[in-house]
Structure 1
Amino acid sequence: MPRLTPTQELDSLLELIVTAADGVGIDTLAQQWGTPIHRRTLQRRLALLVAQQRIEMLGDRRTARYRRTTSAAIRAQEPEVDWRIAPPPDDLPVSAPGAEVRAYVTQPRHLRRPVAYRPSFLERYQPNHTAYLPLDLREQLHTMGRSPAAQTPAGTFARDMLNRLLIDLSWASSQLEGNTYSRLDTERLIAFGQAAEGKDALETQMILNHKQAIEYLVLSPDNARVQTDTVIALHAFLSDGLMADPTAVGRVRRRPVEIGGSVYLPLALPQRLEELLGIVVQMAAEIADPFEQAFFLMVHLPYLQPFEDVNKRVSRLAANIPFIRHNLCPLSFIDVPQPAYGHAMLGVYELNRVELLCDVFVWAYERSCQQYVAIQQTLVPPDIFRLRHRQALAEVVAAIVRQGEAASEQAVKSKIPESVPPDEHAHFTALVLAEFAALHAGNAVRFGIRPLEFSTWVGR
């Protein structure tokens, strides 16, 4: 399990314990720590040191004293090594159990035993009794992901972060599928509809599909629910224009599929797939903790493979539903290496082991929090109206400039496209005029206006 406690803190705590030959109690350690530290936090640090066999606990929990173990004292003369397993290139540091999984799934395919779908993997899980994520880890994730919008209506934080989330999640999730769009290319495509030169049309479609699916969850909180209709809707958005069989979009698959590079053979019977999809979603809906709920969806939706393709993409967006509903930091998968995620999913498919995926999940969530929680205070809330009509806005501004017209209310109204409802014309007109009030040679490019076109318009 990825460790959220910095190595330096554990080393400092160990130094305090070493100085007491007969052991030291938690109250004394708290006093010696130097800065205020929550008792439960200190208990977790001590428990981790005990688990690493660097210290031992004497007595029961209430009267416990801690001292360095004999074996640790012997090792004190040796260089200390971080408990995490060093990652190969382009991968993440993982726990010892995660490393076991990685070692198995990175073997050549012919050395791994073919396996079929195991219903027992799902049957062993009991919502709110079984937990893939330990309680102390979930507590730390809650602390990391808590947002200033915690007491506001569901979906508030995600809407506040929508512009950033649309770009980051669309780019990162697509990149995990091999998409070669850069983050800047993704931003241009989402903000201005400008497809990157030299890219396959399917890559562009994949990015735009993510954008639509994210907007579906965020702009209407009622859509952000863990239910079968939502999962199918996400598949419809994410697979639009990408399926060999157009009728497979938003539909449980009706034919067998294989997973490239894996020896896992998913279930094939359509009736059984529909039944199990309903069970998986219902079980997920019963899970109270949003982090456990998100992780469960990331495990069992791809494992079932209910659709002909795009299953992992569906699971990544579905995993964000609990975070949207609880106003927690979203999970964008930003900077997650493709090999790390791919190996983690192979561990679920072929071994029914979740430790490596848990390592990736925790690392990815911590990275997402660094991206969102730290900058939330400095962000201006997005203008949802402007976001919804950005294409029409660009068209009208560009048309007025190229036709050499004055930026007047009459000129704007004469060019409002049909995509803007009549009852929103006044708001849209005011928005366009506000854009013209701030328009200059440096920002006109946002609307596809070339410098020469802008200077010609200004000189009229």
Structure 2
Amino acid sequence: MPLQVPAEELSAVRQIIRRFPNGVSVGELLALPEIHFPKRTLQRRLDQLVGEGRLTPKGEGRARRYLIREVYAPSDQDPPSAVVREEPRDLDPEWLSPEARAVRKVMSRPVNQRTPVAYNGHFLDAYEPNRTFYLPAALRGELKSLGQVGLEELPAGTYLRRVMDRLLVDLSWNSSRLEGNTYSLLETERLLKFDQTPDGKSAKETQMILNHKAAIEMLADQADEVGFNPYTICSVHALLSDNLLSDTAACGRVRSCAVGISGTVYYPLEIPQQIDARFRQILEKANAIEDPFEQSFFAMVHLPYLQPFEDVNKRVSRLAANIPMVRHNLCPLSFIDVDLNHYVGAILAVYELNDISYLRDVFVWAYRRSCVRYAVVRQTLGEPDPFRLKYRTELGNLVRGVVQERLGRYVADEWIRNQVNKTIPESDREQMRKVVRLELLTLHEGNIARYRLRPSEFKAWKEPKDGNGS
């Protein structure tokens, strides 16, 4: 009767192979210090895992490599992913794939029963943009079909600006909620639209939501320029961490100190030069990824795993995951209805196991929910006005200028005329003046976010004017 191989030993081999998204050979495994048994014994363990469907072999002879099923380096003819599931009931784990359920079970163990781990550089090194895929081809195709809104040929950020009022509330609230913020959706809406702070909320919670608004507005304002580069990601961090860090100089700066994460046995990098080098490597790889959904998910995996900043790393990754959506005019990812326990468990699985299957399921489910949400929003918005679309930047500058300069009606008319004559072709000037006047007449506290105006600016503009017209 053959000896029974301990389940823990098989699991240990499998966890090691998780580090290699492109697969690993027997020779490479034997070179690792964690593998302490002979080649023949290792081969039997691999054969057993393959036979149980827990590993996938690729190639023959010495070229054979072994992969975990949830990480892909596929062709465009991939079979449908096991991740594609029926829409779940709220908080029901049935939508998780079998791999993710197994990971969730591992991560449910008490912290003192999990093995401490350090940052694993090979997890990032092994990822080759446009050759390695965390999302298989069939799944990427499904997400593209769901996310397209018919504005692909228009300038970057066009769709984001159309749904800006709703997204500011949705994404600010949901991302803050995933950090333990206790604001309700209605309280968030009142804060962002009317500058109303509810009783019983801490200044930190209020600041967190306002910071989200500022960061989302930056992505919209600079849609043609944002990307996976140090300027964008550090700027997003600076806005999200504003007034929340004890060291104000740490806002937007890659950390030079050690950080600890509660509730996990994962220990991030501590050497500043290595942190900076890995940060730039993540951005270079992310920027090279052609598929927007793969790019989005890659950012959600590797930015929090590195912990490049002293704090606020997961918030940065959630907004960074929307950069490809902004650039390609796709439906945004607002994290609506995402359960905190699933999100945290999935992130911890990346930290401790380098396993992306759980987080991938959360990402896919969250994006489907967002698409359903914004399909309804699109129906209420109707088709965009081509004239307003063409001159969206100029229109925003004119409306914002009148309000921020607190111009009264008659002074504003003259100022608008002069500005239009400078910036708009003669054939469109009269139409532009009419559109600006109409926008100013219909401006109220509920829609000023479209023009990056604050409630205090709008209130000051509406007050009686002295000396500059009424």
What TM-score does the superposition give when structure 2 sets the normalisation length?
0.67
**2:174 alignment partner AA:** A
For 1:333 and 1:436, the matched residues in 2 are separated by 29
Deviation at 1:388, TM superposition (A): 10
Equivalent position of 1:318 in the other structure? 320
- Give RMSD over aligned pairs: 3.8
Equivalent position of 1:146 in the other structure? 148
1:197–1:139 distance in 2 versus 1, CA, 3 Å: same
For 2:227 and 2:445, the matched residues in 1 are separated by 40
Is structure 2 residue 340 aligned with structure 1 residue 333? no
For 2:131 and 2:300, the matched residues in 1 are separated by 18
**2:274 alignment partner AA:** R
**2:371 alignment partner AA:** C
**1:171 alignment partner AA:** W
2:260–2:268 CA contact under 8 A, matched in 1: yes
2:91–2:339 CA contact under 8 A, matched in 1: no
Runs of 4+ in 1 over 4 A off after TM superposition: 82-92, 380-397, 410-413, 426-433, 435-439, 446-449
Equivalent position of 1:10 in the other structure? none
Q: For 1:423-460, what per-residue CA distance to the aligned partner results, in whole angstroms no more than 9, with x for missing partners?
A: 69x99994697249999xxxxxx9999xxxxxxxxxxx
1:412–1:432 CA contact under 8 A, matched in 2: no
Deviation at 1:220, TM superposition (A): 2.1
**1:341 alignment partner AA:** Y
For 1:395 and 1:192, the matched residues in 2 are separated by 20
1:85–1:95 CA contact under 8 A, matched in 2: no
For 2:184 and 2:198, the matched residues in 1 are separated by 9
**2:173 alignment partner AA:** W
Deviation at 1:158, TM superposition (A): 1.0
**1:328 alignment partner AA:** L
Deviation at 1:150, TM superposition (A): 1.8
For 2:310 and 2:85, the matched residues in 1 are separated by 40
Q: Secondary structure at the match of 2:376?
A: coil
Q: For 1:192-226, what per-residue CA distance to the aligned partner results, in whole angstroms no more than 9, with x for missing partners?
A: 22122211111110011001101101122233211
Equivalent position of 1:296 in the other structure? 298
1:423–1:120 distance in 2 versus 1, CA, 3 Å: same
For 2:435 and 2:224, the matched residues in 1 are separated by 26
**2:226 alignment partner AA:** A
Equivalent position of 1:434 in the other structure? 441
Q: For 1:331-355, what per-residue CA distance to the aligned partner results, in whole angstroms no more than 9, with x for missing partners?
A: 0101101111000000000000000
What TM-score does the superposition give when structure 1 sets the normalisation length?
0.68
Alignment of 1:105-254 (within 5 A): 105-254=107-256
For 1:90 and 1:245, the matched residues in 2 are separated by 41
Q: Secondary structure at the match of 2:246?
A: coil
Deviation at 1:396, TM superposition (A): 7.2
Q: What is the identity percentage for the equivalent residue pairs of Structure 1 and Structure 2? A: 47
For 1:371 and 1:183, the matched residues in 2 are separated by 15
1:273–1:306 CA contact under 8 A, matched in 2: yes
For 1:188 and 1:391, the matched residues in 2 are separated by 25
**2:203 alignment partner AA:** A
Deviation at 1:154, TM superposition (A): 1.5
**2:231 alignment partner AA:** D
Deviation at 1:92, TM superposition (A): 6.8
For 2:313 and 2:444, the matched residues in 1 are separated by 46
How many residue pairs get matched?
A: 353
For 2:405 and 2:217, the matched residues in 1 are separated by 22
Equivalent position of 1:409 in the other structure? 409
For 1:338 and 1:395, the matched residues in 2 are separated by 43
Provide structure 2 residue ranges, at least 5 long, that are not aligned to the other structure: 1-76, 421-432, 447-454, 460-470
Deviation at 1:164, TM superposition (A): 1.0
Equivalent position of 1:255 in the other structure? 257
Q: Secondary structure at the match of 2:228?
A: coil
Q: Secondary structure at the match of 1:299?
A: helix
Q: For 1:172-198, what per-residue CA distance to the aligned partner results, in whole angstroms no more than 9, with x for missing partners?
A: 001000011111111111112212221
Q: For 1:47-73, what per-residue CA distance to the aligned partner results, in whole angstroms no more than 9, with x for missing partners?
A: 669x89xxxxxxxxxxxxxxxxxxxxx
Deviation at 1:373, TM superposition (A): 2.5
For 1:150 and 1:182, the matched residues in 2 are separated by 34
Equivalent position of 1:99 in the other structure? 101
Equivalent position of 2:10 in the other structure? none
Equivalent position of 2:347 in the other structure? 345
2:151–2:329 CA contact under 8 A, matched in 1: yes
Q: Secondary structure at the match of 1:221?
A: coil
Q: For 1:374-398, what per-residue CA distance to the aligned partner results, in whole angstroms no more than 9, with x for missing partners?
A: 331321669886799789969979x
